Structure 1
Amino acid sequence: MLNLASMLEHTARHDPGREAVVQGSTRMTYAEVDATANRAANLLTDLGLARGDRVALSCPNRLEFPVLYYGILKAGGVVVPLNVMLRPREIAYHLADSGARFFFCHTAPDAPVAAAEVAEAVAAAPACERLFFITDDQAPSPVPDVASLSTALAAQGETFESVCPPETDTAVILYTSGTTGSPKGAELTHANMAFNALTCHRTIEARRDDVHLVVLPLFHSFGQTIQMNATFGLGGRMVLMPRFESGEVLRTLARESVTVFAGVPTMYWRLLEEPLDEPTRTAVAARLRMALSGGAALAVEIAHRFRTAFGVDIHEGYGLSETSPMVTFQSPGRAPKPGSVGGPVWGVEMRLIDASWADVPDGEPGELAVRGHNVMKGYHHRPEETAAVLRDGWFRTGDIARQDADGDYILIDRAKDLIIRGGYNIYPRELEEALLTHPGVSLAAVVGVPHPVHGEEVKAYVIPRHGARLAEADLRSWCKDTMAAYKYPRLFEFREELPMTASGKILKRELR
């Protein structure tokens, strides 16, 4: 019997006055977070929530996210975190697909979707019985007949005896990005999520006095497990930022004496592009002891530049929504190995396989397969798609990697991003790494585009560095001298920005 909410409850019981979470000028202790989560659990129980009922939550990095997340779990519900950037049609899809009975949704005048549109999306999802709006500064609900969260919680008590389900019960349904079709909900159990959070403590050598700056969206598995659940379980402090703004991130790192920062590679790139005064840089470097990267492959050049700027190595890991998410990590006890994501964390096994699930020969690239306490139960209500990726406990990830002589894994690329030009396999990440060494290139993304003769042609989207003068012919010539003839980009497009997800991953499907 296990409830993921114990990550909060244990610390609240043993150290209730300890500061748990900060958002702007507002600070809450573990006792206050736990008491407010109990109010949410009482609200859901009064509404008739049964064990296993799904409850959707759309909220940026605000105090309400952990309060509602743990409140839903305490009541025996399943949390369905939704991307805050979803449009009304997408909201309706996720509510209907998950079968969520209740929906907590943040709304504000500048929200991506108007409150009235959210209400219409809920009306289109037959299973969803009630909508509650999370409003700024406890403002009233903007839609008649829809309660605000603050009003709903005010009438509830601050004590609650949490439901203790079997550890194999689903705790969270995380939706994939839908890059290869409609988004699928990965069902993660209480054991999946709790073990992954506890494994994170061990793997990154977390400390009780750590201060985490949380700019990764909490609706995403990286921020949810490796920062929120892991930090609450150990008793650390989280500083929440609702959106990533590089200048404000740097100022907050200094002001709050942050010791741990986690981000995706494009966040580190933006931090390095931000003009920085020496007092702020010195203050950040004095306290920051660990930087974590995941979500996509980290370019070696970015890791080197960050080390030079702040004196801190970026330790890279690898994971997916379907694996709770942590699979591998570069041990803090070893110097980071550029390009490597390390080896499997405690309790996890890995293999490199081919299309028929057979192991590939030593030294050859293959698709990563994972087995362990972190692997999901399956995709919600999708038995055929679950069977395609799960076999005998092994989950095939869709990521191509190779293993080096030390047993560490080197990510090569996503299988779906592979470019086949004239019969040759080309891995975009290799070309992106090379492009970032050009003095005029700030960021690059490489994709394959249709070609009548070669099948696909290699195209590079490039953001130039500030003040750099890049000519397409010159960059093509440089690539021709730097890369093999069959693989260098023939096509270029210069841009001021690239399309990205809410968590900062480059959306290559849009570039294609």
Structure 2
Amino acid sequence: MLNLSIILEDSARNTPDRTALVLGDLRLPYSMLDSVAGQVAALLAARGIGRGDKVALLCPNLPYFPFVYFGILKAGAAVVPLNVLLRPREIAYHLTDSDSRAFFCFEGSAELPMGARGREAYDAAEGCEHFFVLPATPLATESEHGESFWAALEGMPARFETVPTAPDDTAAVLYTSGTTGRPKGAELTHLNLLVNTMVSDEMFPADPEGDVALAVLPLFHSFGQVAVMNVSVRRRATLVLQPRFEAGAALELMRGEKVTMFAGVPTMFWALLSELRAGGAAPPPALRVAVSGGAACPVEVLKDFEAAFGVPILEGYGLSETSPVACFNRPGRPTRPGTIGLPVWGVEMRLVDGDGNVIEGGGPGEIAVRGHNVMKGYYGRPEETEEVLRDGWFLTGDLATRDEDGYYAVVDRTKDMIIRGGFNVYPRELEEVLMTHPSVSLAAVVGVPHASHGEEIKAYVIPAPGAAASEDELIAWCRENMAAYKYPRLIEFRESLPMTVTGKILKRELR
């Protein structure tokens, strides 16, 4: 038997009274997290749901998320976590595509009516048999949208004997964002997720007093789910939940809760840095680990964050399909800013060309990954699985280079690469250069259609506070600092950039 829920059961057995979850003034111990998860498992078992079944979960960073997540695992079923911003038609697609038999959905608010959207989707999805509402009002036993979670749990025993699952049984189906075509569900096994949690956890020595992690990355996303929630639960840390990232509030939580570990995407580090500079307040004193992933972090942000916070940002790399961590700048090894480090324990990486042939030396080439972290495949999609899984190697779609010591550096997504007049241009390289200009706070570079060159290069820029440079001045500066075929001919100043709920810049909306 191997079941990912063992990480919670072990922590609850050994440190039952330690605080597991913090949300505002609410503090819940490990014993309670485990017992509510046990009730969820008992509820599912009572409704005839068990090993091999799928159960969907739509919920922001609230205690409900780990309650239900670990309850589904204990029942032997697989979790299908959904993005909280999905619309009814999209939710219905995910429920149907994943063959989910039950659906736990947060009630939401007037601004984000998740309960109403979820109910509409549930009614439209054939095959989904049970709808449980996670009420916005604590412990409410009624909801206009359907059966309340708390009413359903009434009378359910807190002790539940976890259903034995095999290492290659599916533990979670994580949907990729679907920038190309419809979203696909990456099937991750108990072995995938448990080993990735253990490897990620053991890269950092635990604080003997107990670590405190801030969860601002959405828990429905692989990065927040594994590297934040599961790692925290395994190391018996306290998980401080922030349902929606806001830099000022995040800094307050870091100071007030004595947060020792923070993981985020580059735009979050940029926002924390901007907030610290604008407010003039002291950096959080307990912070000792800062981890970035999800996209390449600009070197200027890496340098400025370490100078301001006194903590280096350690960059890693992974995808939903790799459970997610594949590569990392680990503590105890020299970190190289601008790189994603070295493959983690038990994982191999290599660079390949467009035909799948191995590229020796520095590249660039497409990253291919093999190891305990690679998914089973895309749920119900054998053709798409075959496209990306070749002899156990997963083709990531990311272009990278590799230095003589084996450190990888992501150049760009293959689909973000711009081809201008026959020359390959990597947006990330231009963004790095742009951000060294004193008038630039954040930049995103994309290719836009052009009659004779195929694509022209355009930069969207958030100016630094009080910046004075005009578009023409910035273009002239770029011409001086970049090759003639690379520099952006078009620059547009913006107050903000479109981002996903996970904080990635949505380049497809800028093109």
Normalising by structure 1, report the TM-score: 0.97
What is the total number of aligned residue pairs between the two structures?
509
1:251 partner letter: E
Per-residue CA deviations over 1:301-329 (Å, capped at 9, x if unaligned) read 00111011111100000000000000011
Q: Which residue of 1 aligns with 2:503?
A: 504
Per-residue CA deviations over 1:3-62 (Å, capped at 9, x if unaligned) read 000010011112211211111111111111000000100111111103111000011110
Q: Which residue of 1 aligns with 2:218?
A: 217
CA offset at residue 111 of structure 1? 4.8
CA distance in 2, matches of 1:387, 1:15: 44
Q: Which residue of 2 aligns with 1:402?
A: 401
1:26 partner letter: L
CA distance in 1, matches of 2:86, 2:451: 36
Q: Is the 8 A contact 2:141 2:149 kept in 1?
A: no
CA distance in 1, matches of 2:111, 2:61: 13
Q: Is the 8 A contact 2:142 2:151 kept in 1?
A: no
Q: Is the 8 A contact 2:401 2:409 kept in 1?
A: yes
- Structure 1 residues 260 and 482, CA gap change in structure 2 (3 angstroms): same
Q: Is the 8 A contact 2:105 2:114 kept in 1?
A: no
Q: Which residue of 1 aligns with 2:199?
A: 199
Per-residue CA deviations over 1:144-169 (Å, capped at 9, x if unaligned) read 6x111122123311110000111100
Q: Which residue of 2 aligns with 1:4?
A: 4
CA distance in 1, matches of 2:116, 2:244: 23
Q: Which residue of 2 aligns with 1:232?
A: 233
Q: Which residue of 1 aligns with 2:389?
A: 390
Q: Which residue of 2 aligns with 1:143?
A: 144
What is the percentage of aligned positions where both structures have the same residue?
56
Q: Which residue of 2 aligns with 1:302?
A: 301
Per-residue CA deviations over 1:161-211 (Å, capped at 9, x if unaligned) read 000111100000000000111000000000000000000122233446111
CA offset at residue 238 of structure 1? 0.8
1:451 partner letter: H
CA distance in 1, matches of 2:385, 2:242: 35
Question: Bigger CA drift: 180-189 or 133-142?
Answer: 133-142
Q: Which residue of 2 aligns with 1:110?
A: 110
Q: Which residue of 2 aligns with 1:376?
A: 375
1:443 partner letter: L
Q: How does 1:7-406 map to 2 (within 5 A)?
A: 7-113=7-113, 115-136=115-136, 137-143=138-144, 146-207=146-207, 209-275=210-276, 280-282=281-283, 284=284, 286-406=285-405
CA distance in 2, matches of 1:215, 1:34: 22
Q: Which residue of 1 aligns with 2:418?
A: 419
Per-residue CA deviations over 1:234-293 (Å, capped at 9, x if unaligned) read 2111111101010000011000011111100000011111155889524x1x21111000
Q: Is the 8 A contact 2:106 2:114 kept in 1?
A: no
Q: Is the 8 A contact 1:81 1:219 kept in 2?
A: yes
CA offset at residue 335 of structure 1? 4.2
1:366 partner letter: G
CA distance in 2, matches of 1:250, 1:478: 35
SS in 2 for 1:386: helix
- Structure 1 residues 179 and 119, CA gap change in structure 2 (3 angstroms): same
SS in 2 for 1:470: coil
CA offset at residue 140 of structure 1? 4.7
SS in 2 for 1:62: coil
Q: Which residue of 2 aligns with 1:455?
A: 454
Q: Is the 8 A contact 1:36 1:158 kept in 2?
A: yes
SS in 2 for 1:103: strand
2:335 partner letter: P
Per-residue CA deviations over 1:102-154 (Å, capped at 9, x if unaligned) read 1111113335235333212111110111111111223354426x111122123
CA distance in 2, matches of 1:59, 1:39: 18
Per-residue CA deviations over 1:403-431 (Å, capped at 9, x if unaligned) read 11211001100001010000100000000
SS in 1 for 2:412: strand
CA offset at residue 474 of structure 1? 0.6
CA distance in 1, matches of 2:109, 2:167: 40
Q: Is the 8 A contact 1:211 1:260 kept in 2?
A: yes
Q: Is the 8 A contact 2:441 2:462 kept in 1?
A: yes
CA distance in 2, matches of 1:483, 1:361: 28
SS in 2 for 1:489: coil
- Structure 1 residues 275 and 331, CA gap change in structure 2 (3 angstroms): closer
Normalising by structure 2, report the TM-score: 0.97
SS in 1 for 2:282: helix
SS in 2 for 1:266: helix
- Structure 1 residues 12 and 111, CA gap change in structure 2 (3 angstroms): farther
Q: Is the 8 A contact 1:4 1:190 kept in 2?
A: yes
Q: Is the 8 A contact 2:442 2:463 kept in 1?
A: yes
Q: Is the 8 A contact 2:260 2:289 kept in 1?
A: yes
Q: Is the 8 A contact 1:87 1:112 kept in 2?
A: no
- Structure 1 residues 317 and 386, CA gap change in structure 2 (3 angstroms): same
CA offset at residue 367 of structure 1? 0.2
Per-residue CA deviations over 1:358-414 (Å, capped at 9, x if unaligned) read 011312200000000000000000000000000111000000001112110011000
SS in 1 for 2:385: helix
Q: Which residue of 2 aligns with 1:430?
A: 429
SS in 2 for 1:96: helix
SS in 1 for 2:91: helix
CA distance in 1, matches of 2:461, 2:280: 32
Q: Is the 8 A contact 1:203 1:329 kept in 2?
A: no
SS in 1 for 2:70: helix
Q: Is the 8 A contact 1:41 1:72 kept in 2?
A: yes
Name segments (4+ residues, structure 1) moved above 6 Å: none
CA distance in 2, matches of 1:188, 1:75: 17
2:261 partner letter: V
